[in-house]
Chain A
Amino acid sequence: MTNNANARPRRQLTLQKKQNLTGWIFLLPATILIVWMSFYPMVRAFIVSLQRGKPTALQFSEPLWRNYERMLQDKVFVQSLINTFTYLIIQVPIMLVLALIFASLLNMKDLKFKGIFRTCIFLPCATALVSYSIIFRTMFSYDGMVNAVLVSMHILKEPVNWLNDPIGAKAVIIIALIWRWTGYNMVFYLSSMQSIDYSIYEAARIDGAGAWTQLTKITMPLLKPIILVTAIMSTNGTLQLYDESVNLTNGGPANMSITMSHYIYNTTFVTSPNFGYAAAMSFVILLFVAVLSGIQMKVGDKR
């Protein structure tokens, strides 16, 4: 090859160009689609976020960042922001730790019926968001299953109206989210744990390392990249939470469990439509996702 290249350098160049061109042509369809269906709407959405007025007669607002400026004065938006971050801060760590524990339990070599356990824990991910929300709503209703069980076990003296209580409603959403997504994250951990050579654990055990030391000194460091991925995905997903807020609590009571996405939907379709403001709020979510993911990458990835 080197001989050949030295002999005919011009042709080598065209070959490389040709290869580049082929590469670009292969990339082109996907690129066009992404630009057209993803980037263009984002650009348009940003332009809309600077506008105000009736949906079909949007005009640039004065000043341009008016929609962004007003957001902080919007009590409902601030409440939705607080709610969403409450979900994020409480739910994501609990869920990821649980997923890690489940994954390491299922990764034990001498565990029987692994397949059944794995299926059981992953199964919630196969349920539709709306249907599981409705099931949770029914379970936590005033005369629902949860109250019946807790009262009959004498844990509660009388039924609690979970969904009509500001803290209760949030708690139910967090429980539902953990139930729905733990298995999903566990699968990521499990698959990468299976790629860790078992002899490492054996060696560690010979050196006298207990289960906890093995988890923190071997499993977790080796899983770091995948933990990072799940953390970013969960953060992203929680910030865009919508189905649970709509179907489980309908944002209530008194907007105490409404999420940002739910409020954006209301602003666009339920109340008198305000596309500019809704687009501006969407960009704020985008900003949060970007910043939080950035921080997690910086903290988590030391390479």
Chain B
Amino acid sequence: MKKILSVLLVLTLVLSLTPLALAEEDGKIVIWTWDPKFNIAAMNIAADMYHVDHPDVEIEVQEVLSDDIEQNVATAATAGDLSTLPDIMLCQDNSFQKMVTNYPEVYTDLTDLYDFEGFGPAKQAYSIIDGRHYGIPFDAGTVVGAYRTDYLEQAGYTIDDLKDITWDRLIEIGKDVKEKTGYPMFSGQAGSVDAIMIMLQSCGASMFNEDGSVNLKDNEPLKEVVADYMAMVEAGVFVEVNSWDEYIGTLSNGSVVGTFNGCWILATILSLDDQAGKWDITNMPKLANAEGATNYSNNGGSSWAITQGTDVDLAVDFMQMYRNVEFYNAILPTTSAIATFSPAKEGEAYSAPSEFFNGTPIFATILEFGEQVPSNITGAYYYDARNAVSTAVTNAMNGGDIDAELATAEDTVNFAMGF
């Protein structure tokens, strides 16, 4: 029996040491992406348009959830067998650096293969690692401030009163609106730190320094952001809920005046038929003291990556679709996916006014906002830092000292990076 055991062990060890298997070039493009109404729909339109000139190329769009894509990449890379991966896959911008840094053998360096002229620099920064491009930008996560104009009116304000303001002014208005209407201004998921990340990027600040080291302990903009956030919650201007569904619930049942989030949140708002004409958008408030503060930021969004060893040339040729204004015009009405490719704003679909939002041409407005978003540094340890900041903020809200909490957070991230 011992012999059998040892033979088995040796066999399996040998099997696990087989060299890296690459995917085959088969002249077929397989794409992994996750949302049927959004990025899958966009890719199907791209495939249809590509088929006009290339009728022989087979393109298959498969629905794979974002988390599953990341796990599949991890599994394939550690098993040394990339043949299970698709030619093109979508990756969350916040995960991009983590994935490429940890699994460099999976992703194709696109720097010399693709023309990145015309894409917003803040958007590109997510998928640039060590100065090399790995991602073709897809949708923007440009932040908009969306407000219920009917509630604002009741309190004697208009949407223009919320344009180009600071957070201090927002808290003033928010208190007044709450007093007059009873509704808090914003809602957000406790512990998710989405709001804090948005506010931080709006002044071009990051949780990391240029050299990749952690920047939490003495990060003045971050402290200002946390102070503003806590002031909002304390004043009842920002109400914290526990889950994503509850957050969406506050919007759909009209228990908040508005929200500030990536422009993809508009898809949710647009689905609330009973609230048509009651909404309008403008930019978000900015930090009062931080250097380089703007009224623009980014949250969410994703970019396309091309797998190494597959039909790279074919995939790159297909992805030229994302430099095509026609394509962006075609996907906008069905998907509301807002481009990060500046020339797209010339298209008709972009300048059309939206009935839902009081006739504001929301898409052109968002593209315009997008050009002004400052870039930030995400890095491979983005989620480590995000979790640490979340813990720090939660503790600070429960009476902890924010300086001490951020110092602890920095230690936590440094600890993770020490491996």
Q: How far does the alpha carbon of A199 sit from the alpha carbon of B248 in the complex, in Å? A: 61
30 contacts between A and B (CB under 8 A): A36-B8, A40-B9, A40-B12, A44-B16, A54-B102, A55-B74, A55-B78, A75-B411, A75-B412, A75-B415, A141-B241, A142-B241, A142-B246, A164-B240, A164-B242, A252-B190, A252-B394, A253-B191, A253-B398, A254-B398, A255-B391, A266-B387, A268-B74, A271-B383, A271-B384, A272-B102, A272-B416, A272-B417, A273-B98, A273-B102
A267 to chain B, nearest CB (A): 8
Q: How far does the alpha carbon of A67 sit from the alpha carbon of B416 in the complex, in Å? A: 11
In contact, B415 and A73 (Cβ under 8 angstroms) = yes
Interface string of B157-198 (1 = CB under 8 A from A): 000000000000000000000000000000000110000000
Interface string of B359-381 (1 = CB under 8 A from A): 00000000000000000000011
Interface size on B, residues (CB 8 A): 45
Number of A-B contacts (CB under 8 A): 104
Please give, as numbers and ranges, the residues of chain B lying within 8 Å of A163 by CB-CB distance: 242
* B105 CB within 8 Å of chain A: yes
* B67 CB within 8 Å of chain A: yes
Please give, as numbers and ranges, the residues of chain B lying within 8 Å of A70 by CB-CB distance: 415, 418-419
- A residues 241-291 in Cβ contact with B at 8 Å: 250, 252-255, 266, 268-277
Cβ 8 A contact of A250, one of B1, B105, B191, B383: B191
Q: How far does the alpha carbon of A141 sit from the alpha carbon of B408 in the complex, in Å? A: 29
Q: How far does the alpha carbon of A138 sit from the alpha carbon of B249 in the complex, in Å? A: 12
* A301 CB within 8 Å of chain B: no
Q: How far does the alpha carbon of A22 sit from the alpha carbon of B12 in the complex, in Å? A: 26
Which residues of B pack against A, CB within 8 Å?
1, 4-5, 8-9, 12, 16, 67, 70-71, 74, 77-78, 80, 98, 101-103, 105, 190-191, 240-243, 245-246, 380-381, 383-384, 387, 390-391, 394-395, 398, 408, 411-412, 415-419
* A52 CB within 8 Å of chain B: yes
Interface string of A54-89 (1 = CB under 8 A from B): 111000000000010010011110000000000000
Cβ 8 A contact of B242, one of A32, A137, A268, A271: A137
Q: How far does the alpha carbon of A252 sit from the alpha carbon of B9 in the complex, in Å? A: 42
In contact, B67 and A269 (Cβ under 8 angstroms) = yes
Please give, as numbers and ranges, the residues of chain A lying within 8 Å of B70 by CB-CB distance: 269
* A35 CB within 8 Å of chain B: yes
